[in-house]
Structures are given as structure tokens and as C-alpha cells.
């Protein structure tokens, strides 16, 4: 497998996970960008615990844990720490309105960036690099293939979990909060617990994506925390469709892939390309390309479901 193809596939898989991390809290109307901060935090943790290094001039002050944890342990650590951070924050903003959650997300993103940029032990603006390969002893090509498989394994696993969640009573409750929060509360749906669950899941997913990203680039720096990445994931979510989990699966490979095959002279315009697509979709199909009614129509088309006749008991109406 060529380096270009494997890079495209792994980043696509990671960005699908990132977009799902934004999709989950948005199920109940919260745009939670803390997953980006968590992604970077878990990547730094992974770098520290896997034995990555900082640039030469900062080596004296670097934290040398000398642990050389294997991939799976750093992955678990990243997911657990990110989930825990997300949970702790959700205790304060679990039921907060969308705008407040956005502000908290941005605050954490730039707080994380400021800490990373000013901590010598984390390599300051250069970050950390020379992260070990995911499996030592394999060739470059085998390692890339293995990484692609690992990333898509997690896409399948997380995708299955989100599918089950969307079909569950919690998924239904999250949708009801999105549609009418006050009415949902009057039915006894605990908005704070629901927000807490989704924000924690989003943060843990951010942590997972962060460690995978770390092992793909084999380096991490604070430059990942940018408004551009927020815009990128939001574009992927809103263009694909924010009402179902399938939207990101369609949008991420296309939106991530097209700029890669653009002529070099047009590369500088790729943000304009994203902006035009986002504005176009918001004007023409505000719910995105893949919507629930579309899925329902497809479902009816494929399965031709028949309605069961209603019962014939006591009629109160």
C-alpha cells in the first residue's frame, strides 16, 4: 500500500471518528468542541508514555518517563483520561445551552494549546515526535496497512455503538431534547444526565482519535488546535447530515479527498472550497445530504414495510 493511499485512508477514518464525536452531543443540540482539546491531550499523553522525544534544544527539560508503553496501553490511557475530562466538565455544562457549550469547548481548546506551546517538556511549538511505530518489527508498508486496519476497525466498532445508541431509548430521548427541550423535560427525560453521557462519549471518542492520529503522523504539536479544524469537522458534519450517523461516512472521504487531488495551485483555496460547499448545503439542504426522511424512503423502498392493523380492544376515542 502506498504511503499516500494509507495516509488518506487513516486520516479519513480518524476524521470520521472526529466528526462522530461532534455528532453525538449535537444529537441533543450541543456543539461540543472539547473533543479537539481532548484529541490533543490524549495524543500528548500517548507521546509521553510511548517514549516520543522533543527537539534537541529542549531535551534537558523534557519529561523522560522512559516507559515505552505499547500502542494498546496508550490508547486505553488516552480514551480513559479524555472521557474522564469530558465527564468532569459535563457536570457543569451537561444541560447548558448550545452557545455556552461552544464557548467552553473553545476555551478548553485554546487553554490546551497555550499550555502545550509554553511547556518545554512537551516540546513547546515544535511538539513531540519520533513516536514509535504501532508494531515494531514490521516493514513500513506492513505498518501502514496495519494502521489502516486498526483505524477502520475502530470506525466499525464506534459506528456499531452509535447505531445501537441511535436506535435505543437514549437515542430517542436525545432526539426529543433536540426537537423540544422543555417538552422532553416534562416527559421526565433528564437533560443533564443525557448531556453528561453524550459529552463524555464525545470526549472519549476525541481521545481515541487523538491516539490514532499520533501513531499515524508519529508526532504531535499544538498546531492541530486551530479554528480551521473546527470548521473542517463542522463542514463534514453539516454537509453529510447531522441527523444521522451516516452523513459523516459520506462527507468525510469526499471533503478530505477532493483537496488532496486538487492541483497544487488551487490548494491555497481549499478553505474557500469548504466554505462554498457548506454555505451551499446550508441554503439548499439545511439538514445535510443524508437525512432521516431520505433513509426512511430508502428503507421503505427496499423492505416495502406493511403496517400492522391496529388492535380491536376498548376504544377510548
Residues lying near other proteins in the complex (CB under 8 A) are found at: 169, 172-173, 175-176, 179-180, 183-190, 305, 307-317
Nearer to other proteins, 261 or 316 (CB): 316
Burial 178-195 (b: 16+ CB within 10 A, else e): beebeebeeeebebeebb
Cβ count near 176 (within 10 Å): 18
Nearer to other proteins, 28 or 151 (CB): 28
d(CA 19, CA 310): 41
* Closest distance to other proteins from the beta carbon of 14 (Å): 32
Question: Do 239 and 289 contact (CB within 8 A), yes or no?
Answer: yes
* Closest distance to other proteins from the beta carbon of 140 (Å): 50
d(CA 293, CA 279): 22
Strand order in the sheet with 128-129: 53-54, 128-129, 219-220
* Closest distance to other proteins from the beta carbon of 292 (Å): 8
Strand duo 219-220 + 53-54: pairing:
unpaired
Nearer to other proteins, 155 or 184 (CB): 184
* Closest distance to other proteins from the beta carbon of 28 (Å): 13
d(CA 147, CA 139): 12
* Closest distance to other proteins from the beta carbon of 295 (Å): 12
d(CA 308, CA 317): 20
Nearer to other proteins, 81 or 197 (CB): 197
Nearer to other proteins, 90 or 203 (CB): 90
Q: Specify the 3-state DSSP secondary structure of 286.
A: coil
* Closest distance to other proteins from the beta carbon of 91 (Å): 16
Nearer to other proteins, 171 or 231 (CB): 171
Nearer to other proteins, 93 or 191 (CB): 191
* Closest distance to other proteins from the beta carbon of 23 (Å): 17
CA distances from 226 to 11, 106, 141 (A): 17, 10, 31
Amino acid at each position: 500500500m502506498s504511503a499516500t493511499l494509507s495516509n488518506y485512508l487513516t486520516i479519513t477514518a480518524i476524521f470520521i471518528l472526529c466528526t462522530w464525536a461532534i455528532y453525538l452531543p449535537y444529537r441533543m443540540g450541543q456543539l461540543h468542541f472539547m473533543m479537539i482539546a481532548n484529541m490533543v491531550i490524549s495524543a500528548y499523553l500517548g507521546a509521553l508514555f510511548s517514549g516520543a522525544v522533543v527537539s534537541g534544544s529542549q531535551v534537558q527539560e523534557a519529561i523522560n518517563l522512559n516507559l515505552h508503553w505499547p500502542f494498546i496501553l496508550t490508547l486505553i490511557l488516552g480514551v480513559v483520561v479524555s472521557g474522564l475530562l469530558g465527564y468532569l466538565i459535563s457536570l457543569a455544562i451537561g444541560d447548558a445551552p448550545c452557545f455556552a457549550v461552544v464557548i467552553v469547548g473553545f476555551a478548553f481548546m485554546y487553554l490546551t494549546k497555550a499550555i502545550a506551546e509554553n511547556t518545554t517538556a512537551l516540546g513547546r511549538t515544535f511538539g513531540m515526535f519520533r513516536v514509535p511505530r504501532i508494531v515494531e518489527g514490521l516493514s513500513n508498508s506492513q505498518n501502514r496497512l496495519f494502521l489502516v486496519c486498526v483505524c477502520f476497525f475502530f470506525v466499525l466498532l464506534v459506528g456499531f455503538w452509535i447505531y445501537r445508541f441511535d436506535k435505543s431509548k437514549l437515542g430517542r430521548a436525545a432526539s426529543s431534547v433536540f426537537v423540544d427541550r422543555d417538552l422532553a423535560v416534562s416527559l421526565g427525560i433528564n437533560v443533564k444526565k443525557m448531556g453528561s453521557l453524550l459529552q463524555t462519549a464525545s470526549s472519549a471518542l476525541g481521545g481515541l482519535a487523538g491516539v490514532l492520529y499520533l501513531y499515524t503522523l508519529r508526532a504531535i504539536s499544538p498546531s492541530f488546535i486551530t479554528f480551521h479544524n473546527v470548521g473542517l469537522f463542522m463542514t463534514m458534519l453539516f454537509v453529510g447530515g447531522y441527523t444521522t450517523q451516516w452523513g459523516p461516512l459520506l462527507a468525510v472521504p469526499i471533503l478530505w479527498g477532493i483537496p488532496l487531488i486538487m492541483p497544487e495551485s488551487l490548494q491555497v483555496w481549499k478553505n474557500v472550497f469548504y466554505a462554498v460547499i457548506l454555505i451551499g448545503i446550508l441554503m439548499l439542504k439545511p439538514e445535510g445530504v443524508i437525512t432521516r426522511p431520505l433513509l426512511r424512503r430508502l428503507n421503505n423502498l427496499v423492505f416495502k414495510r406493511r403496517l400492522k392493523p391496529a388492535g380491536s380492544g376498548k376504544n377510548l376515542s
